[in-house]
Structure 1
Amino acid sequence: MGSLSLWHILLVALVVVVVFGSKRLPDTARSLGKSMRILKSEASAMKTDKTPAGTDGTAPGTAPRTIEPAPGDTAAARPVDEPKGTTQG
């Protein structure tokens, strides 16, 4: 009862053809194959990558990351810290 029989496989194949359509099925299978190849190559690249990490967790020789301002961002648009104790309440 727990194993897949030929009828189960045929039913799944029929549902796939109905959902994707017979014209899109080859393209879908092709893109799935490309995705699997990319995943396999990236996984093997991660296994072979033996770069030692720096003291701060980054690779040695990398520049520190800087955050670039958004286009149109000005210093006047940023929130300013209010001095403490000047408000009366």
Structure 2
Amino acid sequence: MFGLSELAIILIVVAVVVGVKKLPELTRSAGKSARILKAEARAMKESGPPGEPKVIRGEAIRKDAPGNGGG
């Protein structure tokens, strides 16, 4: 995609355009955005395809068991 020299040029241009005073704030917000994006991508990957039901393992509850109101 980009080589090291292209990235360096882009960073220098951004530093000049934005200014040195705003650069720490900009990098902080970019880091937060990247973390949020990564967490959302991980959550989407773990949940599976949208049409597929999610299986939750646990105890099976019988309808006719005492205390369940099943009878």
TM bucket, shorter chain: 0.5 to 0.7
Q: With CA pairs under 8 Å and 6+ residues apart, which has the higher RCO, 1 or 2?
A: 2
Paired residue total:
49
Which 4+ runs in 1 deviate beyond 3 A?
A: 3-6
Unaligned runs of 5+ in 2: 55-71
C-alpha distance in 1 between matches for 2:28 and 2:40: 18
TM-score, structure 1 as length reference: 0.45
1:38-77 paired onto structure 2 within 5 Å:
38-50=36-48, 52=53
Aligned equivalents of 2:36, 2:44: Cα separation in 1: 12
Summarize deviations over 1:10-47 as a string: whole Å, max 9, x none. x4333111111001000000000000000000000011
Greater share of residues in helix: 2
Instruction: Say which SS state the counterpart of residue 41 (structure 2) adopts.
Output: helix
One-letter amino acid matched to 2:10: V
TM-score by length of 2: 0.55
1:27 aligns with 2:59: no
Higher gyration radius (CA): 1
